Amino acid sequence: MLKFPYCNVTDLNQALAQCRFVGLLGPLASRRQSPLAVVSCSPSSSEFSLTPVQAVMSCQQQVGSSLVNLLRLGGLTEDGFSYKEKFIIRGFEVGINKIATIETIANLLQEVGSNHAQSVGFSTDGFGTSPTMRKLHLIWVTARMHIEVYKYPAWRDVIEIETWFQNEGRIGTRRDWILNDVATGEVISRATSKWAMMNQDTRRMQKVSDDVKEEYLVFCPREPRLAFSEKNNKSLKRIAKLEDPVRYSKLGLKPRRADLDMNQHVNNVTYIGWVLESIPKEIIDTHELQAITLDYRKECQQYNVVDSLTSLELTEGSKMVSVGTNGSATATATTREDGHDCHRFLHLLRLSSDGREINRGRTEWRKKPTR
């Protein structure tokens, strides 16, 4: 049970008045403060209209939120325009080789993005919405995600993720991330994403209004800052739609209840797993994912059934090669003529019922390193 220091009183009204804590952590304050600092639990004018029990419960919720901030290894940077948080790679976040999976990395990106939104005072319900958005029942949904991994962290490694967001025209916002190995300071991954606004009730996309934009622009870098700064980077590359016939497929994928997120649709990380379901085994066994780009085109609900389709992407200067081993049945992939592994695939996720496209993607694979 959570015990309230300095609250040794029996009357609940007195408890509300006397249950005061020092060291207020405002929404824009750095979380890197003394571990003794906890939230102030003084009542607001609206709380006096609550019953005594409701008021104390409200006080407990404030304290609980403060404890989360104290235990979280993260906070806003000094300029207030980005957020950094450290994570330990845990046993259930790695695969059979004790290396973090791409889904783990994507989940951590999602987590630190949500924590950043809360740290600047946006909603604490996981949606990261501004006051105007909540009033109009608007939420953010992922439009595109691009992740590049230069080195996968291993079990018990400590990584630090920095994230920031900024305006992306009239259609929404952009969020970027940089992942560092804390032990070496090495950049091990970068990611970028685009987010669009959707009405939570009608499920229709909506333009970002000036009122909403004004609420989040104050937390954006004053100058554009991009995780991938070069002009022709892979995160901008258009993804062609796959057409039948395709070379590889996994049909009849069904969302689990655990795949649904707080926005009441299939979480965007689940799409990564579905894409990987149709990658040929010969690639999975010998290669690791170095880059993935996903375009989210339609939300997927709990009772939808999904087909995952994959084909090779041939580019200029590439040729077909065999990637089978020991005389087994082989898959074919692409490699550059200079001999460097450069296996690229295009992907399509569609509804089994009517063939409607819900996601298209691209992946690049490299030989697994010797560890």
Q: Give tens-digit pLDDT for 167-192.
A: 887 778 999 999 999 999 999 999 99
Q: Taking residues 271-292, what's their average pLDDT?
A: 95
| pLDDT score recorded for residue 12 | 38
Sign of CA dihedral 265, 266, 267, 268: negative
Confidence of residue 83 (pLDDT cuts 50, 70, 90): very high
- Residue 71 has what pLDDT? 80
> With bands split at pLDDT 50, 70 and 90, how would you rate the model's confidence at 328?
very low
Q: What is the pLDDT of residue 313?
A: 92
Residue-range domains of the chain with CATH = 66-236 (3.10.129.10), 237-315+338-370 (3.10.129.10)
Of the candidates 116, 146, 265, 343, the residue annotated as catalytic is 265
pLDDT at 327: 36
41-79 pLDDT, tens digit each: 444 444 445 544 344 334 444 544 577 777 888 999 999
Are 161 and 85 in contact, with CB atoms under 8 Å apart?
yes
| Structure tokens, 188 | 């091990």
Name which residue leads in pLDDT, 53 or 144: 144
Q: Tell me the C-alpha distance between 22 and 282, whole Å.
A: 59
Mean pLDDT of 268-273: 94
Annotated active-site residue 347? The verdict is: no
Take residue 236 and report the two structure tokens written for it. 């901008």
In DSSP terms, 178 is beta-bridged to 162, 190
Mean pLDDT, the chain, rounded, equals 80
Choosing from 19, 41, 59, 300, the catalytic residue is 300
Of 263, 268, 304, 359, catalytic = 263
Instruction: Return the amino acid letter for 201.
Output: D
pLDDT above 70 covers what percent of the chain? 74
Q: Write the CA distances from 88 to 113, 146, 207, integer angstroms.
A: 17, 23, 38
Rounded to 5 degrees, φ, ψ at 274 are -65, -40
Catalytic residue at 263?
A: yes
157, 94 contact by CB (below 8 A) = no
Tens digits of residue pLDDT in 29-50: 333 333 333 334 444 444 445 5
Determine the pLDDT at residue 145.
96
Q: What is the pLDDT of residue 322?
A: 45
Tell me if residue 342 is catalytic.
no
